[in-house]
């Protein structure tokens, strides 16, 4: 890698690829969707820094009405690759290779919406189709527990 031989050297990278299997419970990236990574790699003080952006389309269900919803994530990146990575803070640098896939996966998964909405004022399901409450003029008593039936026969004299 040219970067490791000349400190301060920068390299521009633009990659368009598909990464299948990016999903959380509420949203997902279609398996055939194009992810776009635009980044600058720079060798600084024994590490490679990656600065740039990831753009990726996503789909999911609205948390209120369950209609299909989607959008495009535009996530900024600023990550560090080191020979001796700090667990959870930096990524491993193995030889002259920088594997950008874990960075892109992490950026996409951590920024997918946890509870997407189709629009801010989504009222939820149609009340005529999915009534949430019973009409106020209709009173329905819950069935009685048969174990308490003996108490129905109990009469107390008002003395």
Q: What is the pLDDT of residue 137?
A: 59
Q: What is the pLDDT of residue 21?
A: 93
Domain that holds residue 74: 2-111
- In a domain? residue 155: no
- In a domain? residue 124: no
- In a domain? residue 63: yes
- In a domain? residue 44: yes
Residue 19 tokens, joined = 């990464």
Dist CA 59 CA 70 (whole Å):
4
- In a domain? residue 19: yes
pTM: 0.69
Measured torsion, CA atoms of residues 60, 62, 68, 71, in degrees rounded to the nearest 10: -60
Q: What is the pLDDT of residue 15?
A: 93
- In a domain? residue 131: no
- In a domain? residue 121: no
- In a domain? residue 130: no
Q: What is the pLDDT of residue 129?
A: 64
Asked if pLDDT for residue 132 goes beyond 70, the answer is: no
Domain total in the chain: 1
Residue 4 binned pLDDT confidence (cut-offs 50, 70, 90): low
């Amino acid at each position: 890698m040219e970067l490791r031989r000349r400190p301060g050297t920068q390299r521009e990278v633009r990659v368009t690829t598909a990464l299948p299997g990016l999903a959380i419970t509420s949203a997902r990236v279609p398996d055939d969707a194009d992810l776009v990574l635009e980044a600058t790699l720079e060798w600084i003080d024994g590490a490679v820094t990656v600065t740039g952006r990831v753009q990726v389309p996503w789909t999911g269900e609205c948390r209120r009405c369950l209609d299909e919803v989607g959008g495009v994530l535009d996530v900024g990146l600023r990550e560090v690759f080191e020979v001796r990575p700090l667990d959870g803070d930096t990524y491993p640098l193995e030889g002259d290779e920088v594997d950008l896939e874990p960075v892109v996966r992490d950026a996409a998964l951590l920024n997918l919406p946890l509870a997407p909405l189709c629009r801010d004022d989504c009222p939820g399901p149609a009340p005529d189709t999915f009534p949430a409450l019973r009409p106020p003029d209709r009173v329905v008593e819950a069935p009685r527990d048969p174990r308490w039936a003996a108490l129905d026969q109990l009469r107390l004299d008002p003395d």
